[in-house]
Amino acid sequence: MAKIPLLLDTDIFIDYFNTGRFHALFNSSRFTIYYSIITRKELLTKPGLRDNERASILAELTRCRLITLTDPIAARYSDLRHRYPSLEQSDALIAATALVKRLPLMTRNKRHYRMIEDLPLFGE
């Protein structure tokens, strides 16, 4: 059976690290988990982050696939910011990543993304 590719929003990682929510997702062989470079930045620059927390985050991220910023993602980001001025910068970058890489986005903040045409939200 083919694995299901998913781009995870930062909030999914935060819930996983803080409460263990979504542990079945992270420990499942059914999914290939991707994350944006912006998620990495958001997780690792949290104020008050301790060294052991940083190490735990980095260890977990090695199990997932990082998507770095590319010219097509940057161009799509620019288009999204123009089309949806109320969309926050980090959300626009994550949405652009999902669109360019053709990955469904898993997020708890669906209201942030619902207005974006052609953006597949996992679970809808």
47: containing domain: 4-68+103-113
Residue 57 in any domain: the answer is yes
- Does a structural domain hold residue 25? yes
The per-residue pLDDT for range 94-106, each reduced to its tens digit, is: 999 999 999 999 9
**CATH label of the domain that carries residue 30:** 3.40.50.1010
Nearest one of 36, 10, 40 to 22, comparing CA atoms: 10
Residue 91 is predicted with a pLDDT of 96
Those residues of the chain that have pLDDT short of 70 are: 124
Token representation of residue 28: 């499942």
pLDDT attached to residue 2: 78
Handedness of CA 57, 62, 68, 73 (dihedral sign): negative
Residue 49 lies in a domain: yes
Total domain count for the chain? 1
